[in-house]
C-alpha cells in the first residue's frame, strides 16, 4: 500500500500510525539483515518503493530515502539528510550532515571510459568519488558529476550541472554550474605576513636550540647507532634521519660523530652483489620488493650524499634493469589496490637512477625513457595521478602514491609533471577529507604528501588562494607540534616524538612556509630526501660545502 509518507517522509515519526511505524521498523531490520555492511540510524525512514542496490550503505540518524530513489555503489549519508523522490545517488558518494536533495536530482560518483573504437557499454567504469559537505541544499533536477567536492553550506540551484568543486558557502547554478553569489561569504584567510614570518622564525630557533637534545635522546649508547625514539630498535632509516636532522638544524653531522666513520658504516651496510641496503635485522637480502629495502635507496643514499660520500657499489635495482624489465616491474605494481605502495617502489627506482648517474654507472639504453614514459602515458588526465580512490580510504593512497612516485622521478630529475592543474584539483579535494586532515588526525605522511605536490605545481598559480589557505591552516597546526627537547611526533597528536617525525615535519614546515612566501624565516632548506629542487646529477654536495642558511 502506498502511503503519503513514501513521498513526503519528513514527518513520518510524528504522524504515522502505529502499524506504519511497525512496518517501517521491520523493513529497515530486513534491509540490514540482508545486506552485510549496511547501517541505518535512529528515526530514519526508507520507503519500500525506493530501489536500494548499494554495496555499502550508511544512513545517519533522522535521514530518509523517499519513493523512487535509486542508490547504488558505496553510499554514506550523514544525519538529518533527505534523499527525495526520484533521486539517484550512485558510485562512491559521501554526504555530510543536513544535506537536502531535491526531487529528480542525480549525484553520480562514477563515469564510463570513452576511448574510441569500443562501445561505451563495453568500457570499464571509473570512479573518483563525490563528497558533499554539511548543510548543503541540492535543488531539484541538479546533476553532480564524478570527482566533485561540494563545500559546507553551499547551495546547488535547481537545474545546475555541477562539474567542478564548489567552495563552502557558494551558491552555484547553470550548465556548467558557476558562482552566482555567496550564501556564506568567504573569510579572508590570508595570513598576516609579518606575524607569520615571526612565528616561523621562532619555530626554527626553538628547533635549533633543541637539536642536540633531540639527537641525543635517540642515540643508543649500547650499539652506537640511532633509534627513532628511546626504547626503539636501531634501524637503517634512523641513521639517515639523524644525519638529515643534524644537517637541517646544525649544518653539521650528528654531534659526536665522525663524518668519515659514519659514511663508512653506511657504505658497509650495502650488499655488494645487489647494491641494496637490507634492514639491519635481515642481513640475508630480502629482495627489492621489501618496503624497507626500497626506502633505503633514498634514506641511505641521501645520508651518504650529505656526508660527502656515495654508495660503494652500483644499485642493481636500476643498473641491472632493461627497458622491458622496467615496464614489466611498473605493470606489476599494485596501482589499482595500493597506489601508495606502487609509488613507494617507483620512488626507489627514480632515486636509484640518480645514484647511477652520480656514480657514472652504466644504465641500459631506454631505461629512463621507459620509466618516465610509462608514468606520463599512464597518468590519469582527470586526477593527474595514478590509481583510483577506494571506498574505505578515498583519495588517500592515490595522493600519497603520487607524492612518492613524482618525488623520485619528476621532481628529483627536474621533469614537469604531465597534468599539474589536475593534481591541484585532486589534492585540494583530498585535503577536505576530515578522516585524514582533522587537526587531531594529522600525520607527517599525509601532510607532506599534499604539501609537496602543491609546491611542485605552484608555478601556474592555479587555485592559488585555496592553496595558500590550506597551507596556512596546516602550517599553523604544524608549528604548534614541536615538543621541547624532543622534536616532533609522526602523528602530531601523539606523545612520543621521534627522528622520523622530526625530519619529516621540518621539511613539511619548509614547503608550507615557502608556499606562503616566508620560508626564509626558517634559516634552513631541505637538502636530502625531501629537497625541493631537482638533485644535481653530476656530483654530490656535502655538509662541508653547505651554503649559508641565514
Q: Does 187 fall in a domain? A: no
Q: Same domain, yes or no, for 123 and 230?
A: no
Q: Same domain, yes or no, for 218 and 351?
A: yes
Q: Same domain, yes or no, for 10 and 142?
A: yes
The pLDDT, as a whole number, for residue 229 is 97
Q: How many domains does the chain have?
A: 2
Under 8 Å between Cβ of 100 and 85: no
Q: What is the mean pLDDT of residues 374-398?
A: 94
Q: Does 550 fall in a domain? A: no
Q: Does 445 fall in a domain? A: yes
Q: Same domain, yes or no, for 208 and 350?
A: yes
The pLDDT, as a whole number, for residue 539 is 53
Q: Same domain, yes or no, for 200 and 314?
A: yes
Q: Where are the beta strands (DSSP E) in 209-368?
A: 219-220, 225-226
Q: Does 188 fall in a domain? A: no
Q: Does 348 fall in a domain? A: yes
The pLDDT, as a whole number, for residue 25 is 95
> Has residue 487 got a pLDDT over 90?
yes
The pLDDT, as a whole number, for residue 112 is 75
**H and E: helices and strands count for the chain:** 17, 21
For residue 28, the domain's CATH number is: 2.160.10.10
DSSP assignment, residue 543?
G
Q: Same domain, yes or no, for 19 and 122?
A: yes
pLDDT tens readout for residues 400-427: 999 999 999 999 999 999 999 999 999 9
Q: Same domain, yes or no, for 174 and 205?
A: no
Q: Same domain, yes or no, for 35 and 145?
A: yes
Residue 547 pLDDT class (50, 70, 90 cuts):
very low
Helix (H, G, I), strand (E, B) or coil at 146: coil
What is the rounded CA–CA span in Å between residue 195 and residue 282?
A: 49
Q: Does 85 fall in a domain? A: yes
pLDDT tens readout for residues 275-298: 999 999 876 767 899 999 999 999
The pLDDT, as a whole number, for residue 120 is 79
**Phi, psi (rounded to 5 degrees) for 263:** -65, -40
pLDDT tens readout for residues 213-243: 999 999 999 999 999 999 999 999 999 999 9
**Phi, psi (rounded to 5 degrees) for 293:** -60, -40
Kindly state the cell numbers that stand for 357.
648517474
Between 125-134, 309-318, 365-374, the lowest mean confidence (pLDDT) is in 125-134
Q: Same domain, yes or no, for 150 and 236?
A: no
Residue 542 pLDDT class (50, 70, 90 cuts):
very low
Could you say which of 182, 201, 227 is where a domain stops? 182
> Has residue 250 got a pLDDT over 70?
yes
Residue 248 pLDDT class (50, 70, 90 cuts):
very high
What is the rounded CA–CA span in Å between residue 214 and residue 240?
A: 14
Could you say which of 122, 147, 182 is where a domain stops? 182
Q: Same domain, yes or no, for 84 and 200?
A: no
User: How high is the mean pLDDT of the chain?
Assistant: 92
> Has residue 397 got a pLDDT over 90?
yes
Q: Same domain, yes or no, for 352 and 303?
A: yes
Q: Does 415 fall in a domain? A: yes
What is the rounded CA–CA span in Å between residue 40 and residue 48?
A: 14
What residues are paired with 138 via a beta bridge?
101, 156
Q: End-to-end alpha-carbon separation of the chain, Å?
A: 78
The pLDDT, as a whole number, for residue 118 is 79
Q: What is the mean pLDDT of residues 484-493?
A: 96
**Phi, psi (rounded to 5 degrees) for 115:** -65, 140
**Phi, psi (rounded to 5 degrees) for 77:** -120, 130
Q: 437 or 120: whose pLDDT is higher? A: 437
The alpha carbons of the chain give a radius of gyration, in whole angstroms, of 26
What is the span of the domain harbouring residue 75?
Answer: 4-182
What is the rounded CA–CA span in Å between residue 66 and residue 82?
A: 8
Could you say which of 131, 147, 182 is where a domain stops? 182
What is the rounded CA–CA span in Å between residue 543 and residue 250?
A: 10
**Phi, psi (rounded to 5 degrees) for 507:** -70, -40
Q: What is the mean pLDDT of residues 164-179?
A: 92
Helix (H, G, I), strand (E, B) or coil at 208: helix
Alpha helices in 269-314 (DSSP H): 291-306
For residue 279, the domain's CATH number is: 1.50.10.20
The pLDDT, as a whole number, for residue 550 is 34
> Has residue 26 got a pLDDT over 70?
yes
Kindly state the cell numbers that stand for 321.
634493469
Q: Same domain, yes or no, for 341 and 422?
A: yes
Under 8 Å between Cβ of 169 and 179: no
Q: Does 159 fall in a domain? A: yes
The pLDDT, as a whole number, for residue 1 is 60
Per-residue exposure over 434-456, b if at least 16 CB sit within 10 Å of its own CB, e if not = eebbeeeebbbbbbbbbbbbbbb
pLDDT tens readout for residues 88-101: 999 999 999 999 99
Amino acid at each position: 500500500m502506498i502511503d503519503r509518507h513514501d513521498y513526503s517522509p519528513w514527518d513520518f515519526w510524528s504522524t504515522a500510525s502505529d502499524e506504519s511505524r511497525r512496518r517501517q521498523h521491520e523493513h529497515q531490520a530486513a534491509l540490514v539483515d540482508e545486506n552485510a555492511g549496511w547501517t541505518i540510524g535512529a528515526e530514519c525512514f526508507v520507503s519500500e518503493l525506493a530501489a536500494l542496490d548499494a554495496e555499502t550503505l550508511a544512513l545517519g540518524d533522522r535521514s530518509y530515502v523517499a519513493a523512487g530513489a535509486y542508490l547504488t555503489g558505496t553510499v554514506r549519508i550523514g544525519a538529518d539528510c533527505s534523499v527525495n523522490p526520484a533521486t539517484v545517488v550512485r558510485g562512491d558518494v559521501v554526504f555530510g550532515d543536513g544535506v537536502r536533495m531535491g526531487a529528480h536530482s542525480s549525484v553520480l560518483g562514477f563515469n564510463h571510459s570513452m576511448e574510441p573504437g569500443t562501445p561505451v557499454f563495453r568500457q570499464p567504469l571509473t570512479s573518483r568519488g563525490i563528497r558533499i559537505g554539511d548543510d548543503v541544499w541540492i535543488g531539484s533536477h541538479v546533476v553532480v558529476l564524478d570527482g566533485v567536492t561540494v563545500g559546507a553550506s553551499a547551495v546547488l540551484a535547481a537545474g545546475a550541472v555541477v562539474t567542478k568543486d564548489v567552495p563552502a558557502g557558494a551558491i552555484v547554478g547553470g550548465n556548467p554550474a558557476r558562482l552566482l553569489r555567496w550564501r556564506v561569504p568567504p573569510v579572508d584567510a590570508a595570513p598576516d605576513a609579518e606575524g607569520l614570518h615571526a612565528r616561523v622564525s621562532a619555530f626554527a630557533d626553538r628547533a635549533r636550540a633543541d637539536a642536540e637534545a633531540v639527537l641525543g635522546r635517540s642515540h643508543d649508547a649500547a650499539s652506537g647507532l640511532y633509534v627513532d625514539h628511546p626504547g626503539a630498535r636501531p634501524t637503517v632509516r634512523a641513521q639517515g634521519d639523524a644525519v638529515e636532522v643534524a644537517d637541517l638544524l646544525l649544518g653539521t653531522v650528528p654531534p659526536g660523530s665522525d663524518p668519515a666513520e659514519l659514511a663508512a658504516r653506511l657504505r658497509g651496510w650495502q650488499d655488494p652483489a645487489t647494491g641494496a641496503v637490507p634492514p639491519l635485522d635481515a642481513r640475508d637480502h630480502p629482495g627489492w620488493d621489501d618496503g624497507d629495502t626500497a626506502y633505503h635507496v633514498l634514506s641511505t643514499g641521501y645520508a651518504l650524499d650529505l656526508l660527502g660520500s656515495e654508495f660503494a657499489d652500483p644499485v642493481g635495482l636500476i643498473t641491472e634493469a632493461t627497458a622491458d624489465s622496467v615496464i614489466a616491474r611498473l605493470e606489476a605494481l599494485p596501482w589499482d589496490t595500493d597506489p601508495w605502495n606502487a609509488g613507494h617502489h617507483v620512488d626507489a627506482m627514480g632515486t636509484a637512477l640518480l645514484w647511477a648517474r652520480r656514480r657514472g654507472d652504466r644504465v641500459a639504453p631506454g631505461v629512463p625513457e621507459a620509466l618516465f614514459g610509462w608514468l606520463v602515458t599512464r597518468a590519469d588526465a582527470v586526477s593527474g595521478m595514478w590509481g583510483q580512490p577506494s571506498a574505505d580510504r578515498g583519495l588517500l593512497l592515490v595522493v600519497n602514491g603520487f607524492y612518492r612516485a613524482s618525488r623520485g622521478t619528476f621532481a628529483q630529475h627536474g621533469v614537469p609533471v604531465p597534468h599539474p592543474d589536475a593534481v591541484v584539483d585532486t589534492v585540494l579535494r583530498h585535503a577536505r577529507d576530515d578522516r585524514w586532515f582533522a587537526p587531531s588526525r594529522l600525520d607527517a605522511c599525509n601532510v607532506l604528501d599534499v604539501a609537496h605536490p602543491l609546491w611542485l605545481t605552484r608555478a601556474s598559480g592555479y587555485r592559488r588562494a585555496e592553496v595558500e589557505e590550506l597551507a596556512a591552516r596546516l602550517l599553523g597546526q604544524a608549528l604548534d607540534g614541536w615538543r621541547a627537547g624532543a622534536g616532533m611526533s609522526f602523528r602530531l597528536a601523539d606523545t612520543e616524538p621521534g627522528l622520523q617525525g622530526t625530519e619529516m615535519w621540518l621539511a613539511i614546515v619548509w614547503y608550507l612556509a615557502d608556499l606562503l612566501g616566508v620560508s626564509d624565516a626558517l634559516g634552513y632548506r631541505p637538502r636530502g630526501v625531501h629537497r625541493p629542487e631537482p638533485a644535481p646529477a653530476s656530483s654530490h654536495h656535502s655538509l662541508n660545502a653547505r651554503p649559508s642558511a641565514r
